[in-house]
């Protein structure tokens, strides 16, 4: 039986190689990523916790099935996030779910990152503003919300986002810039400033 | 509600359903096939480019004045659109395949399209210089009737007896200087050749479609100043080249 001690100090790539020899090592990969991926799935989807867990199970099974396709040039985390992202899209199609609202804590976090780009000289009543950020974010198009979540909440670099979404890095930069603009536009529409 | 033990459930499912990782060769093969199809699309696109170059260069430019459309009108009407369409399709196929390789997503759409076009043009010029453009056009024209009748040359451009262009099939040869031609609308014409225009051997001409340049003499008679085959590379036999006559 694999223990935490067997997983610790091993890189993702090493765990992939070990899993291909002994499937019990897959436990290490699951343990390392289950919380992150569950959070990510819930952030970008409209699924309840239970549904998100079902999706996550399918994600891990897909990961296991496709372990041999993992290319070591890529970060393992980008690869596994990509599978999660694709699985969420296919669940969206199946269930036609709507994205759920981000928690207000998450919304505030995104706001704090974007705020520095806003360049407004007006005084912002943060207390009042933060209440509305959630609404603003959830009014954004899916593609914008997704890059904001990956960039600001999952703290992924442009390169990682490019690998997860399978888009050129230039496109990712454009999407993030447009997402910020869309965010500002939504704010001004609501007369928050 | 109790929180699921995902790791346990996943491992149990894997064991219960005897799931195993797909072999590496499957992924490698898929990737190689995608690359191969992309490269194949580029090669076919390059061959299409070679034909486009050949058809554009050998576009009977000396005859454009008979079309009554001016140089640009003539160019517009005689461009090899089907080949251009084929080229676009193969470039798109190449793009689709390259985009679906392992790292294809990293490349910008414009870069891939520009590269595909660039490769097709450069290889197309090379293929044209090796004679492949001519060879492909002629193989198609000789063996595929739709291609011969509509793509090899545009019938709309090459049928205008009033302007001195008469196209059709030679159906009868009565004597050396008199020939019957059934035009594209099924009307029969007596052709009278100017002396020295074309010394042909009848067996090479009978049953072939030709383009004749000349003038209408009467309702059913046409004086031929020059003749050339509908299929560019078709031989009519020994004798002066009608192209030379036209250029004088």
pLDDT tens-digit map of B8-37: 889 999 999 999 999 999 999 999 999 999
CB B74, CB B67: distance < 8 Å? yes
Within 8 A of A65 by CB-CB distance, chain B residues are 19-22
Confidence of residue A120 (pLDDT cuts 50, 70, 90): very low
Confidence of residue A110 (pLDDT cuts 50, 70, 90): low
pLDDT at A173 over 90: yes
Within 8 A of A24 by CB-CB distance, chain B residues are 11
Q: Nearest CA of chain A to the CA of B103: how many Å?
A: 9
The H or E element spanning position B151 is none
Q: Do A66 and B105 touch (CB under 8 A)?
A: no
CB A101, CB A132: distance < 8 Å? no
How high is the pLDDT of residue B169? 85
Question: Across residues B121-132, what is the average pLDDT?
Answer: 95
Tell me the per-residue pLDDT of A150-167, one tens digit each, with 9 for 90 and over.
Answer: 888 888 999 999 999 999
Within 8 A of B13 by CB-CB distance, chain A residues are 57, 61
Q: Nearest CA of chain B to the CA of A73: how many Å?
A: 10
Q: Do A34 and B7 touch (CB under 8 A)?
A: yes
Q: Which of A61, A69, A167 sits opposite B19 (nearest CB)?
A: A61
Alpha carbon separation from B192 to B173, B202, B206, B222 (Å, rounded): 11, 14, 15, 6
Q: A71 in contact with B at a CB cutoff of 8 Å?
A: yes
pLDDT at A37 over 90: yes
Sign of CA pseudo-dihedral B205, B210, B213, B218: positive
Q: Which of A30, A68, A168 sits opposite B7 (nearest CB)?
A: A30
Instruction: For chain A, positions 149-168, list CB contacts with chain B under 8 A.
Output: 162, 166-168
Nearest chain B residue to A24 by CA distance is B11
Question: Across residues A22-29, what is the average pLDDT?
Answer: 91
How high is the pLDDT of residue A111? 62
Q: Which of helix, strand or coil describes residue B214?
A: strand
Q: Do B9 and A57 touch (CB under 8 A)?
A: yes
The H or E element spanning position A108 is helix A104-118
How high is the pLDDT of residue A30? 93
Q: Which of A31, A50, A168 sits opposite B106 (nearest CB)?
A: A168
Q: Which of A34, A61, A68 sits opposite B13 (nearest CB)?
A: A61
Residues in chain A: 193
How high is the pLDDT of residue A160? 94
The H or E element spanning position A159 is helix A158-165
Within 8 A of B20 by CB-CB distance, chain A residues are 65
pLDDT at A118 over 80: no
Q: Which residue has better confidence, B228 or B22?
A: B22
> What is the C-alpha to C-alpha distance for residues B155 and B194, in angstroms, rounded to an integer?
25
pTM: 0.71
Q: Which of B9, B21, B102 sits opposite A71 (nearest CB)?
A: B102
Q: Nearest CA of chain A to the CA of B87: how many Å?
A: 25
The H or E element spanning position B189 is strand B188-193
pLDDT at B221 over 80: yes
């Amino acid at each position: 039986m694999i223990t935490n001690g067997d997983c610790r100090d091993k890189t993702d790539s090493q765990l992939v190689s070990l899993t291909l020899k002994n499937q019990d090592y897959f436990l290490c990969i699951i343990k390392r990523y289950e919380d992150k991926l569950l959070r990510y799935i819930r952030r970008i989807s409209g699924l309840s916790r239970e549904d998100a867990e079902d999706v996550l199970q399918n994600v891990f099974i897909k990961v296991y099935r496709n372990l041999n396709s993992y290319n070591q040039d890529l970060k393992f985390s980008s690869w596994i996030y990509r599978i999660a992202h694709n699985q969420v899209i296919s669940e969206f199609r199946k269930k036609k779910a709507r994205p759920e609202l981000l928690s207000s804590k998450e919304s505030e976090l995104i706001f704090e990152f974007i705020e520095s780009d806003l360049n407004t000289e007006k005084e912002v009543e943060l207390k009042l503003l933060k209440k509305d950020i959630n609404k603003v974010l959830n009014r954004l198009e899916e593609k914008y919300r997704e890059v904001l979540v990956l960039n600001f909440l999952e703290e992924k670099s442009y390169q990682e986002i490019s690998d997860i979404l399978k888009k050129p890095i230039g496109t990712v930069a454009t999407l993030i810039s447009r997402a910020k603009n869309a965010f500002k536009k939504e704010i001004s529409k609501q007369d928050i400033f | 509600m109790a929180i699921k033990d995902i790791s346990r459930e996943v491992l149990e499912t894997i064991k219960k359903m005897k799931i195993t990782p797909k072999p590496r060769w499957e992924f490698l093969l898929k990737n190689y096939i995608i690359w191969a199809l992309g490269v194949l699309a580029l090669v076919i696109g390059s061959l299409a480019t070679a034909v486009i170059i050949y058809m554009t260069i050998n576009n009977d430019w000396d005859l454009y004045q008979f079309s009554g459309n001016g140089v640009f009108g003539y160019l517009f009407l005689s461009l090899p659109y089907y080949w251009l369409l084929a080229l676009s399709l193969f470039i798109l196929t190449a793009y689709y395949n390259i985009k679906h390789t392992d790292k294809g997503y990293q490349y910008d759409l414009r870069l891939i399209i520009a590269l595909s076009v660039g490769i097709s043009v450069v290889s197309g010029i090379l293929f044209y210089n090796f004679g492949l453009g001519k060879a492909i056009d002629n193989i198609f024209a000789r063996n595929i009737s739709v291609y011969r009748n509509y793509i090899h040359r545009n019938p709309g451009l090459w049928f205008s007896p009033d302007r001195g262009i008469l196209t059709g099939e030679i159906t009868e040869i009565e004597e050396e200087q008199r020939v019957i031609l059934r035009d594209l609308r099924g009307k029969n014409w007596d052709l009278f050749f100017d002396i020295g225009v074309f010394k042909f051997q009848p067996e090479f001409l009978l049953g072939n479609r030709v383009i004749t340049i000349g003038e209408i003499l009467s309702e059913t008679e046409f004086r031929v100043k020059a003749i050339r085959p509908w299929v560019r590379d078709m031989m009519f036999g020994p004798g002066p080249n009608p192209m030379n006559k036209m250029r004088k």
